[in-house]
A = this chain, B = another copy of it.
Amino acid sequence: SSGPVAAATRAMDELLRRAVPQTPAYELREKTPAPAEGQCADFVSFYDGLAEVGQRAELLGRLAQGFGVDHGQVAEQSAGVLQLRQQPREPAVLLQAEDRLRYALVPRYRGLFHHISKLDGGVRFLVQLRADLLEAQALKLVEGPHVREMNGVLKGMLSEWFSSGFLNLERVTWHSPCEVLQKVSESEAVHPVKNWMDMKRRVGPYRRCYFFSHCSTPGEPLIVLHVALTNDISNNIQAIVKEYPPSETEEKNRITAAIFYSISLAQQGLQGVELGTFLIKRVVKELQKEFPHLGVFSSLSPIPGFTKWLLGLLTTQAKEQGRNELFTDSEYKEITEVTGSPVHETLKGFLSSGEWMKSEKLVQALQTPLMRLCAWYLYGEKHRGYALNPVANFHLQNGAVMWRINWLADSSLKGLTSSCGLMVNYRYYLEETAPNSIAYLGSKNIKASEQILSLVAQFQKNSKL
Enumerate chain A interface residues (CB-CB to B < 8 A). Answer: 31-33, 36, 68-69, 71, 74-75, 78-79, 81-82, 85, 91-92, 94-96, 98-99, 101-102, 105, 117-120, 122-123, 144-146, 148-149, 152, 157, 160-161, 163-166, 168, 174-179, 181-182, 196, 200, 214-216, 278, 386, 397, 434, 437-438, 441
State the CA gap A79–B77 with chains docked (Å).
Answer: 11
Write out the residue numbers on chain B whose beta carbons fall within 8 Å of the beta carbon of A152.
99
Write out the residue numbers on chain B whose beta carbons fall within 8 Å of the beta carbon of A160.
157, 160-161
Assess whether B176 is in contact with A36, with CB atoms less than 8 Å apart.
no
Q: How far is the CB of A214 from chain B (nearest CB, A)?
A: 8
State the CA gap A436–B157 with chains docked (Å).
Answer: 31
Assess whether A166 is in contact with B215, with CB atoms less than 8 Å apart.
yes
Write out the residue numbers on chain B whose beta carbons fall within 8 Å of the beta carbon of A68.
95
Q: How far is the CB of A203 from chain B (nearest CB, A)?
A: 9
Q: How far is the CB of A196 from chain B (nearest CB, A)?
A: 6
State the CA gap A160–B278 with chains docked (Å).
Answer: 21
Write out the residue numbers on chain B whose beta carbons fall within 8 Å of the beta carbon of A145.
91-92, 95-96
Q: How far is the CB of A251 from chain B (nearest CB, A)?
A: 20
Between A and B, 30 residue pairs with Cβ closer than 8 Å are A31-B386, A31-B441, A33-B397, A33-B441, A69-B95, A71-B94, A75-B81, A78-B78, A78-B101, A79-B82, A91-B145, A92-B144, A95-B145, A96-B145, A99-B152, A101-B101, A118-B163, A161-B161, A165-B216, A168-B216, A174-B177, A174-B179, A175-B178, A175-B179, A176-B178, A177-B177, A177-B178, A178-B178, A214-B215, A215-B216
Write out the residue numbers on chain B whose beta carbons fall within 8 Å of the beta carbon of A79.
78, 82
Assess whether A163 is in contact with B161, with CB atoms less than 8 Å apart.
yes
Also in contact, A71 and B85, with CB within 8 A (given A122-B165, A216-B166, A216-B215): yes
Assess whether B71 is in contact with A33, with CB atoms less than 8 Å apart.
no
Give the copy number.
Answer: 4
Write out the residue numbers on chain B whose beta carbons fall within 8 Å of the beta carbon of A216.
165-166, 168, 215
State the CA gap A166–B121 with chains docked (Å).
Answer: 10
Assess whether B117 is in contact with A163, with CB atoms less than 8 Å apart.
yes
State the CA gap A369–B400 with chains docked (Å).
Answer: 77
State the CA gap A81–B69 with chains docked (Å).
Answer: 13
Assess whether A149 is in contact with B118, with CB atoms less than 8 Å apart.
no
Write out the residue numbers on chain B whose beta carbons fall within 8 Å of the beta carbon of A437.
33
State the CA gap A208–B387 with chains docked (Å).
Answer: 53
State the CA gap A201–B340 with chains docked (Å).
Answer: 55
State the CA gap A370–B177 with chains docked (Å).
Answer: 45
Assess whether B149 is in contact with A95, with CB atoms less than 8 Å apart.
yes
Write out the residue numbers on chain B whose beta carbons fall within 8 Å of the beta carbon of A441.
31-33
Q: How far is the CB of A141 from chain B (nearest CB, A)?
A: 19
Also in contact, A99 and B149, with CB within 8 A (given A78-B82, A165-B118, A397-B33): yes
Closest to A68 in B: B95
Assess whether A123 is in contact with B75, with CB atoms less than 8 Å apart.
no
Closest to A145 in B: B92
Assess whether A101 is in contact with B105, with CB atoms less than 8 Å apart.
yes
Also in contact, A75 and B85, with CB within 8 A (given A145-B91, A200-B178): yes
State the CA gap A166–B79 with chains docked (Å).
Answer: 39
Write out the residue numbers on chain B whose beta carbons fall within 8 Å of the beta carbon of A82.
75, 78-79, 82
Closest to A215 in B: B215
Most chain B C-beta atoms within 10 Å of own C-beta, residue among A31, A79, A168, A178: A178
Write out the residue numbers on chain B whose beta carbons fall within 8 Å of the beta carbon of A149.
95, 99
Assess whether B177 is in contact with A175, with CB atoms less than 8 Å apart.
yes
Write out the residue numbers on chain B whose beta carbons fall within 8 Å of the beta carbon of A165.
117-120, 122-123, 216
Write out the residue numbers on chain B whose beta carbons fall within 8 Å of the beta carbon of A98.
69, 71, 74, 105
Write out the residue numbers on chain B whose beta carbons fall within 8 Å of the beta carbon of A81.
74-75, 78
Given contacts A71-B94, A118-B278, 17 further A-B contacts (CB under 8 A): A32-B441, A69-B98, A74-B98, A75-B85, A78-B81, A91-B144, A91-B145, A96-B145, A98-B105, A102-B102, A160-B161, A161-B166, A166-B216, A168-B216, A174-B179, A178-B178, A196-B196
Also in contact, A118 and B176, with CB within 8 A (given A33-B397, A146-B91): no
Write out the residue numbers on chain B whose beta carbons fall within 8 Å of the beta carbon of A177.
174-178
State the CA gap A95–B149 with chains docked (Å).
Answer: 8
State the CA gap A148–B145 with chains docked (Å).
Answer: 35
A-B complex: 6 closest residue pairs judged by Cβ atoms: A215-B215, A92-B145, A78-B78, A175-B177, A215-B216, A75-B85
